[in-house]
Structure 1
Amino acid sequence: MPFPLRATISFSSRSPLKLLLHFSSVQYLKARPPFSSPPATPSLFSRMASGGQTFTFPAQKQDKQPGKEHIMDPLPQATSDDYKPANKLQGKVALVTGGDSGIGRAVCHCFVQEGATVAFTYLKSEEDKDANDTLELLRKSKRDGAKDPIAVPADLGYEENCRKVVEEVVNAYGRIDILVNNAAEQYERPCITEITEEQLDRMFRTNIISFFLVTKFALKHMKEGSCIINTTSVNAYKGHKQLLDYTATKGAIVAFTRALALHLAEKGIRVNGVAPGPIWTPLIPSSMKEEEVANFGKGVPMGRAAQPIEVAPSYVFLASTPDAAYITGQVIHPNGTFIILLIICLNYICSIDFKIVNTGGVIVNG
C-alpha cells in the first residue's frame, strides 16, 4: 500500500509567498516602458502605465483568426526611435514566418535595421494589407548592401507550402542564415469539449507542425554559424485554462527547441526560443472577448501588456553571432516578471517541511 501522507502548509505574515502575492496585487513593478513612442503613435506609451496606473485598451473584437493589425486600436508598436541598431546582422539572410504583423513585424524591422536581408510569410487574402504595410516599412528601413525584402504568401500548415516558401527565399537570396519560426493562431474556448478535431488539427498544423516542416527544408540551405529562433509563449510554462490546445503547442515548441539544439549542435547551428508574455498583437482582439481585450495585460506585475518592439530585440540578440555565439537550447522570457513569480513560488514551496499524517493514502495540502 502507498504510504499515507498529508502535507500541511502554513504561511507567516512575512513569508516569501505572501510578500510575492502582495507585490503582485499592488503591481509593485509597474514601470514606464524603456522606449519612447515613434512619431506615428506619439501618445501610446504615455498612455500606458502613466501616473502609476494600469493601461486599459479600448474594447474591441475581430471575428476571424489570425487577426488584422491595421484595424486595431491602438496600433501595435513595431518600431521605436529609441532602438539603436549596430549592424549586428549585416550581410545575413533571414526568413520570418508570420512576419506581417505583431511580433513578427517588429522582428523583421529590427533585423532590417541591423543590416539583414529579410523575407517573411503571411496568410494570403487574410493578411494582405498588413503584409503590404510591413513590406513598405522594411523597404524604407533597408540598409545599404541588403537586398529588397520579400513577402511570401503561404498557409504553412501543409508540407508542400513550406517547401515552396523555402525555395522562393533561396531562389531570391541564395541561402538562409536566420530562421524565425513565428506563425501562430489561438482560439479561446471555455471548455475542452468545445475544441473540435478540426480546430485541434488546425492549431497544431500552424503552431508546431509548420515549425518542423519549414526547418526541415531550410536546413538544407543553412551553414555553420546559422541559427533558428522559435516563438513559444509564457503559457507553455504557466498554462492557460481557456487556451488548452494553444498552450499544448507552445509547450511542444519548447521541447522541440531543446531537442533541435542538441540535434544541430555538431553542425554549428544554434537553436533558441523566445517565450513572450502578454503582447499587444492581432491574436488578442481576434481570439478574446471584448472585456478581456480591455483588461489585457493587467494581471502582469508591471501592470500592462508589452508592445512588439519590446520583444523584438530578444530575437536580435539570439540571432547575433557576437552576442549569442555560445547560447543554444535556451528560451528567453520577456514577460513582465510572470516567470519570476512562478519560480519564486516553486522555490519557496520546495523548501517547505511537510508534515506526514494519516489521510488514507491521499496527498493533499493544508
Structure 2
Amino acid sequence: MPEQLQPPQKQSRQPGVEEEMRPEPDYRPRHPGAGKLKGRVALITGGDSGIGRAVALAMAREGASISFVYLDEHEDAEKTEAMIREEGSDALRIAGDVASEDFCRLAVEETVKAFGRLDILVNNAAEQHLQSDLTDISAEQLERTFKTNIFAYFHMAKAALPHLGEGSSIVNTTSVTAYKGNPTLLDYSSTKGAIVSFTRSLSVSLMERGIRVNAVAPGPIWTPLIPASFDEDKTAKHGLNAPMKRAGQPNEVAPSYVFLASDDASYMSGQVLHPNGGTIVDS
C-alpha cells in the first residue's frame, strides 16, 4: 500500500484555492455532450473550483447556461468562467457568502436578470473544520458550519422556488460522512446528514409542482477543501481508506449531477447517488 497518493500540501484558509493544488484536480468533462440540458439555466454554489467547477463545466457541455456563486477565490472563478465560455455556454460569476440569506436572494435575482429564467439549482458550497474532540468545537465554529452547509441550502432553495417550474430540479451535495460518520468532522457530518433529510422532505413538498429534488453524496474527492482542511500528512493520504484506494476526481462526480438535473432522471426524486470509491452505505 502506498504511503501517499498526493504530494504533502497545506492551504491556510477555506474553502481553498484550486490553482495551488498539486496535482491539479481533473475537472474537465470526459465525454462529448448530448444536449441534455440545452436551453436550461443552472445556478451552482461553490462553482469556482472542485466539484462545483466540474459540475459547471459538465452542465455547460450539455448546453446549459451557468451562473455560479463563490466566496472570494477570484482567480479560480475567472478561470472557471472562461472554461464555461470555451464550452460554448454563457456564464455569470457572483461573489458572496451563501451563509447570508440576503446574498442568496441576490444571487438568484442576478441569475434570472442575466438569463431570464432558472431551471436547475445545485447547492454545493461547504466548509469543514477538523477537530479531534467534541469539546474542541466552539459555538462559533458550529454555527458557521451550519450556516454555510445547510442554512444556505434553505436560503437558496427558498429564493429559487418562485422561478422554478415543472421539470426543474434541485440537486444538493451531501457526503459519505452523512452515512458512515467521521469522528473528527462532527459538525460537518451533522450538516451533511441534515442535507439528506432536507432533500427527502423538500422532494415530497415539491412533488405536486413537478420539481424534482435529489442529492449526491461524494467522498473522498480531490478538491481544494482537502488541503484547506487537513494537515500535510492526511492530505497526502486522502482517499487511501476508500475501497478503490484512491481519491476520486471532480469529473468523476459531476456526471451524477448532470443525470439528476436532466430528463434522464425524470422518475427520480428524493434520492441520493453515491460516487464514493466503493463504500457501501444504506441510502
Place the TM-score, normalised by the shorter chain, in its bin: over 0.9
Range 131-140 or range 252-261, more displaced: 131-140
The answer for unaligned runs of 5 or more in structure 1 is: 1-25, 27-52, 344-366
Among 165, 176, 193, the residue aligned to 1:251: 193
- 2: distance between equivalents of 1:277 and 1:287? 14
The aligned residue for residue 294 of structure 1 is 236
SS in 2 for 1:95: strand
- What CA deviation, in whole Å up to 9, does each residue of 1:93-127 have, x standing for no partner? 00000000000000000000000000000112xx1
What is the deviation of 1:55?
6.2
Aligned to 1:217: 159
Distance in 1, matches of 2:253 and 2:136, equals: 32
Q: Distance in 2 between matches of 1:117 and 1:193?
A: 45
What letter matches 2:11 in structure 1? Answer: Q
Q: Secondary structure at the match of 1:311?
A: helix
Give structure 2 stretches of 5+ with no counterpart.
Answer: none
1:25-174 matches, within 5 Å, as 56-80=5-29, 82-124=30-72, 127-142=73-88, 146=89, 148-174=90-116
Q: Under a length normalisation based on structure 2, what TM-score does the superposition of the two structures give?
A: 0.97
Alpha-carbon RMSD: 1.2
Kindly name which structure, 1 or 2, has the bigger radius of gyration based on alpha carbons: 1
TM-score normalised to structure 1 length: 0.75
Where do 4+ consecutive residues of structure 1 move more than 2 Å? none
Question: Could you tell me how far apart the structure 2 residues matched to 1:74 and 1:117 are?
Answer: 29
Mapping 1:274-285, distance limit 5 Å = 274-285=216-227
- Identical positions, percent: 55
- CA–CA separation in structure 1 for the residues paired with 2:107 and 2:261: 21
Distance 1:133 1:190 in 2: 35
Aligned: 1:332 with 2:273: yes
Look up the match of 1:309: 251
Q: What code does the residue aligned with 1:122 have? A: Y
2:148 paired with 1:206: yes
Question: SS in structure 1 opposite 2:228?
Answer: coil
Q: Which has the higher contact order (CA 8 A, sep 6+)?
A: 1
- SS at 2:226's partner residue? coil
CA-to-aligned-CA distance 1:308-355 (integer Å, 9 cap, x gap)? 00000000100111x1101000000001111x2x55xxxxxxxxxxxx
Note the C-alpha offset of 1:158. 1.1
Cα shift at 1:290: 0.7
Amino acid at match of 2:36: K
- Tell me the residue number matched to 2:123: 181
Query: 1-side partners of 2:152 and 2:40: how far apart?
Result: 23
